[in-house]
Structure 1
């Protein structure tokens, strides 16, 4: 009857009301309809309808009526600065001279440097860890100094860091274990020996475990995996498992990872080069550079054109499912209208932005697959992305938008995509004819704005999204509604 699939929920008992009316992922959800004559002047109050659809249990209603706190943090938590030497943030006013700011002793101070300075003059603090410091001292941002705390329980928390950040991560590790350090060099000094890096100092302190489990993983895989699969596993371990000594793993399994090249190459140096080239390609697909792991003494440099065009070749090689080739003949009227409109813009190289909206089951994904198949059969490039990994996996060649466009997870008004204008991804985005972003309402507006800015820069265009054809899709019923207080709509 409606030429679409409709999900139907039946509330069979009173116990199901809370689930249906306050489903945490889709917000308050209710559909009601009534029939009125064309001559009726009945006014529709959308705000009243929304409010009447809300389900608030009695305990929640009472709690909000009395204005009780919904959430709180107790005790208070101090966020402690974490930075490498001479790499802390400095704020200054626009009218201040930058040279004077850089040469100022005040600008040279930070929470961490003053923590060191306090330890140098106060013996009582020599027994404290950095994270324990706020329990006894309070930080004054105005004077940039620690003063003795008189009351109030406070917990310190060092700003988080992940292994990808390298030395900053290992500095945090040392600060969490060494009491009363006097300086950055003090943290790197172990038994009178100054280590060249925080990582080596952490190893000398015994804070880093051996890579036995990773070695066992690679050894077991080397018994039955093909060399290419072993190289991919090796790259994955280096990128995501952060081994203590990547070079040891490389030297230990170099022969196993290069077995296929040994069959066709007679020179050992050529075999090594081809193996590193293959691993470098895998690293590039993960957004990393092989030189950051120091597998050999010198930097590894390969032909950049090879990497620049690999992104394009990979997209052109995306397989097209047989059923998708016939999808365009099975579209309903509304799908066909959208299909024709989008395809006309793509083939005429005109800039356009579309939004496909509809509840789950109405055929949005079917339309996407028809468009992707048609464009890809013409040897044109179409990128399939989605806000979530599950939605992206449904689309042929699909990836999450954050992965494809290098959108940072941190959101702010100055958010930018980490895409170099000289990279292979930039070449791909210059060649692309269609970009599909499913579940777009699930993303923050800053992410979409970042994509807009990046495409304008990559394509040297002031048109929206660099003049590309963009298809956003999703269901606004899956996001919480925002209703302004004191306004009424008719």
Structure 2
């Protein structure tokens, strides 16, 4: 039966005024606010399309291959080109930093001398430290909490101080923290309830006694109790966090906070953690199982298992993975085109040499690091597809990655290297990837027979070295590059090199893979025959001369 439940809430006046789809909601609860927020920021529309060549009979396989891509309409393109705002918040919201003494972030020019930066007066200032100072200078403001301060004061970024507000209004929000962060979390509890303090020491002082920690101060003020802290954390998060974020917070609490009553915590907060699943599934048992499966995946990424906690059991009927790590299941289920297994017969001599050497390393499982060097058109991707199909056809795991998303998308099961290996966005010398030894990513890497990284010439050497450090650790073989795994890098140094912001020629060269200590141990496999332009040798030679700068 169809009735007005199937009609999106609307307003005729607004529809006529703007002549577009407008969803009107009454913000009667926090759920409506969350829905509207998600509706605005959920992202752009997407469309699937494919580009195929007809076969010999003129037929096109319409379901064989699709590329997930962005769909931009002309009005949106115009709007974005001119930089018009897509949405706005009123009143504006100011994010208030939360940090322990002398642990705030300091931004400085990379060319500046660190000694001068640390010694400067600005380096010691933050919104929080200047909040304490404002309480010293303005006794009338000592009844205002830190989170409410932006409503009466404005933050002056240049000189870093709070100035009395003369117009408009602003909302303040202290950045979130969870009990696993220890003292930082209890500092947040104090700032949310205690006003007028003039320093960290003043905040730690309760009834004339200086407490040894923020937790002790919060306990003496009666703001927390051992059994209520975790409940309060989840209850506060329910006011603004999406269900997925709540589930991750719940998993974090289980791993790092050792709650005494896990089942009670689950029962009290299950409903907000399952809001998204309950909208699309009516069966309570199915909803519970989906939430449990999601939490299990998060726990596995932290090196724990859901069986270690007093939570409802996962029914085998709802668990297609049988407890296996999500990352392993994803890679094990990557489909390969049966036609790719026949590509080996079409390899040219250079490709065949590389193909045989890499497969020999995989079959002997004794490890080896290779670099496939070839200009565009020499058949690197063709070689990769043949290798991936061969390894996967034997039931083994082959991980296909690339520095860029475009390069990754043309390989079966391809992912960006940063996504697959959990490489930090900023890597310094000696860095490691962010996965743990017990995580699903670590298990996947241990099981992999072949790891392939295309366009490695575009990434900074520190990212490759981070993977090497992590692989040596999880494999327990510190003396072997990448822990003794077969790893294949590929790319062309004639194309885009790593981007070093305002970097000199020397800095750019230092960031390349050639400058890594791993480079000397890589077996160089060169492809020089341009298969894409094999019928036009002059043009192929011209491209090579341009790339070589000759």
TM-score scaled by length of structure 2:
0.46
Match of 1:121 among 133, 136, 139: 136
Alignment of 1:337-348 (within 5 A): 337-348=353-364
Do the aligned partners of residues 381 and 182 (structure 1) sit closer, same or farther apart at CA in structure 2, a change above 3 Å counting?
Answer: same
CA RMSD of superposed structures (Å):
5.5
Alignment of 1:471 with 2:488, yes or no, is: yes
1:387–1:442 CA contact under 8 A, matched in 2: yes
Do the aligned partners of residues 136 and 407 (structure 1) sit closer, same or farther apart at CA in structure 2, a change above 3 Å counting?
Answer: closer
Q: Matches of 2:382 and 2:436 in 1, distance apart?
A: 33
- Cα offset, 1:478, TM superposition: 2.0
Q: Matches of 1:473 and 1:479 in 2, distance apart?
A: 13
2:376–2:492 CA contact under 8 A, matched in 1: yes
**What SS does the aligned partner of 1:326 have?**
helix
1:118–1:125 CA contact under 8 A, matched in 2: no
Match of 1:422 in 2: 438
| Runs of 4+ displaced beyond 6 Å | 160-169, 183-186, 193-197, 208-211, 236-239, 284-291, 297-305
Gap runs ≥5 in structure 1: 1-79, 91-108, 139-145, 149-157, 215-233, 240-244, 263-267, 292-296
Could you report, residue by residue, the CA deviation over 1:372-418 in whole angstroms, capped at 9, with x for unpaired residues? 10011111111111111221121111111111111111222242211
Do the aligned partners of residues 340 and 161 (structure 1) sit closer, same or farther apart at CA in structure 2, a change above 3 Å counting?
Answer: farther
**What SS does the aligned partner of 2:399 have?**
strand
Of 456-465 and 426-435, more deviation after overlay is shown by: 426-435
Do the aligned partners of residues 82 and 254 (structure 1) sit closer, same or farther apart at CA in structure 2, a change above 3 Å counting?
Answer: closer
Alignment of 1:34-45 (within 5 A): none
1:436–1:471 CA contact under 8 A, matched in 2: yes
Q: Matches of 1:322 and 1:386 in 2, distance apart?
A: 23
- Cα offset, 1:237, TM superposition: 10
Match of 2:258 in 1: none
Alignment of 1:24-423 (within 5 A): 82-85=97-100, 88=103, 111=126, 114-123=129-138, 132-133=155-156, 135=158, 235=244, 249-250=272-273, 252=275, 255=278, 258-259=281-282, 271=286, 273-280=288-295, 283=298, 307-423=323-439
Kindly indicate whether structure 1 or structure 2 has the higher relative contact order, using CA contacts under 8 Å at least 6 residues apart: 1
2:274–2:287 CA contact under 8 A, matched in 1: no
Do the aligned partners of residues 111 and 310 (structure 1) sit closer, same or farther apart at CA in structure 2, a change above 3 Å counting?
Answer: closer
- Cα offset, 1:431, TM superposition: 1.7
Of 446-455 and 129-138, more deviation after overlay is shown by: 129-138
Match of 2:471 in 1: 455
Could you report, residue by residue, the CA deviation over 1:429-472 in whole angstroms, capped at 9, with x for unpaired residues? 11211100011111111111100100000001120111111110
- Cα offset, 1:350, TM superposition: 2.1
Aligned residues: 328
Do the aligned partners of residues 393 and 87 (structure 1) sit closer, same or farther apart at CA in structure 2, a change above 3 Å counting?
Answer: farther
Q: Matches of 1:412 and 1:383 in 2, distance apart?
A: 25
**What SS does the aligned partner of 2:469 have?**
helix
Match of 1:36 in 2: none
Do the aligned partners of residues 111 and 332 (structure 1) sit closer, same or farther apart at CA in structure 2, a change above 3 Å counting?
Answer: same
- Cα offset, 1:82, TM superposition: 3.7
- Cα offset, 1:369, TM superposition: 0.7
2:96–2:175 CA contact under 8 A, matched in 1: no
1:405–1:417 CA contact under 8 A, matched in 2: yes
**What SS does the aligned partner of 1:433 have?**
strand
Q: Matches of 1:88 and 1:299 in 2, distance apart?
A: 37
- Cα offset, 1:161, TM superposition: 7.1
**What SS does the aligned partner of 2:155 have?**
helix
- Cα offset, 1:275, TM superposition: 2.7
Q: Matches of 2:403 and 2:104 in 1, distance apart?
A: 32
**What SS does the aligned partner of 2:369 have?**
strand
Q: Matches of 2:102 and 2:312 in 1, distance apart?
A: 28
Do the aligned partners of residues 439 and 279 (structure 1) sit closer, same or farther apart at CA in structure 2, a change above 3 Å counting?
Answer: same
Do the aligned partners of residues 89 and 359 (structure 1) sit closer, same or farther apart at CA in structure 2, a change above 3 Å counting?
Answer: same
TM-score scaled by length of structure 1:
0.51
Match of 1:33 in 2: none
